[in-house]
């Protein structure tokens, strides 16, 4: 009898954990696949400037979602894009970093690390929803989208190495 009760308790705990995980995790939409047109989106950066994806049509655009400002992996990824920035500019490729959180947090992150591209505050997770980015407890996962000149998804990068990722994306953007 004790073994049966222990199994019931363990099974109940597993079901509860799965339910909590399911509630805390969502994709907020269908994943954007290559060929998918991304809707018109706007967001503000740390300087209070508004950026619209539609305004960037006519050139490739990199939209990299990162979990959180000032964390080691996110800093490494953002700084890799910063270090390749001159080549992105020369190739006429726009770069937008997107994460949940405040515009103030984005401003502090960009200033501390000398980031020359906008970091957009996705406070209501509208961008994450539009791109179908997986979110856990309000924090988007690390995933990058390369958009072509028409604003369609050309390539999706999941499970990236933050240190070398910027180089891979640049090579693909130049090939568009």
Instruction: Report the distance separating Cα 41 and Cα 131, nearest Å.
Output: 10
Strands (E), the chain: 25-26, 42-44, 50-52, 61-65, 94-99, 119-121, 135-136, 139-140, 143-147, 153-158
Structure tokens at 172: 């693909």
Q: To which residue do tokens 């269908």 refer?
A: 30
Torsion angle of C-alpha atoms 111, 112, 117, 121, degrees rounded to 10? -80
Any catalytic annotation for residue 79? no
Catalytic residue among 74, 94, 98, 169: 74
Which tokens go with 112? 């501390």
Q: Looking at the annotation, which residues are catalytic?
A: 74
């Amino acid at each position: 009898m004790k073994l049966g009760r222990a199994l019931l308790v363990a099974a109940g705990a597993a079901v509860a954990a799965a339910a909590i995980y399911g509630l805390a995790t969502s994709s907020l939409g269908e994943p954007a696949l290559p060929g998918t047109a991304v809707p018109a989106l706007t967001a503000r950066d740390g300087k209070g400037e508004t950026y619209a994806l539609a305004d960037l049509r006519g050139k490739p655009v990199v939209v990299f979602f990162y979990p959180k400002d000032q964390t080691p992996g996110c800093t490494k990824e953002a700084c890799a894009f910063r270090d390749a920035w001159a080549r992105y500019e020369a190739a006429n490729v726009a770069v937008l970093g997107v994460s949940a959180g405040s515009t103030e947090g984005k401003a502090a992150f960009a200033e501390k690390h000398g980031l020359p591209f906008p970091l957009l505050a996705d406070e209501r997770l509208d961008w994450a929803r539009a791109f179908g980015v997986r979110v856990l407890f309000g924090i988007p996962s690390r995933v990058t989208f390369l958009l072509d000149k028409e604003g369609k998804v050309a390539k999706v990068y999941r499970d990236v190495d933050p240190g070398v990722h910027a180089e891979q994306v640049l090579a693909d953007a130049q090939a568009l």
